[in-house]
């Protein structure tokens, strides 16, 4: 699935770890991702978290899509930040699942959380046609 994700690859998102119910992806904040306030546009941070969530919830095999998601921005991302998103499965029930994603950056004092994301997934019968 990730290999065919042109939106994520166009932004330089790299999948660095994938296991059942878990994924880690990274993205560097570039000049084109910074908004008028000089900080990372929240949409890009959301996209990184959403991509990582998608990799985690699709790790079980059947095609799974987002049924909803929310994000809380904790700190502003900055130009040049190397963001790391870690997705963890919280629960799966029937065709539904809940996943938490923490987006952070490394600092000299250790990891600093940039955003917390919760995604809800739904397994579907087959992949959508392109």
Query: What is the reported pLDDT for 5?
Result: 86
Query: What is the reported pLDDT for 19?
Result: 95
Query: What is the reported pLDDT for 2?
Result: 86
Q: Give the CA distances from residue 120 to residues 32, 123, 124, in Å, rounded to whole numbers and listed in that order.
A: 29, 10, 13
Q: Tokens 């790391």 correspond to what residue?
A: 84
Q: Which residues pair with 84 in a beta bridge?
A: 26, 104
Q: Which of 13, 11, 106, 101 is nearest to 56 (CA)?
A: 101
Q: Which regions in the chain score pLDDT beneath 70?
A: 126-130
Query: What is the reported pLDDT for 94?
Result: 92
Query: pLDDT per residue over 20-38, tens digit each?
Result: 999 999 999 999 999 999 9
Query: What is the reported pLDDT for 129?
Result: 63
Dihedral over Cα of 81, 105, 23, 124: its sign:
negative
SS3 2: helix
């Amino acid at each position: 699935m990730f290999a065919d994700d042109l939106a994520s690859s166009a932004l330089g998102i790299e999948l660095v770890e994938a296991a059942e119910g878990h994924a880690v992806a990274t993205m560097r904040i570039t000049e084109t991702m910074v908004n008028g306030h000089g900080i990372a546009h929240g949409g890009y941070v959301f996209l990184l978290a959403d991509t990582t969530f998608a990799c985690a919830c699709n790790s079980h095999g059947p095609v799974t899509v987002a049924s909803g998601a929310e994000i809380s921005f904790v700190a502003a991302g900055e130009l040049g930040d190397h963001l790391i998103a870690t997705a963890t499965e919280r629960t799966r029930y029937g065709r539904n699942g809940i996943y938490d994603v923490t987006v952070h950056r490394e600092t000299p004092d250790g990891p600093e959380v940039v955003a917390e994301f919760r995604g809800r997934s739904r397994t579907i019968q087959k992949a959508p046609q392109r």
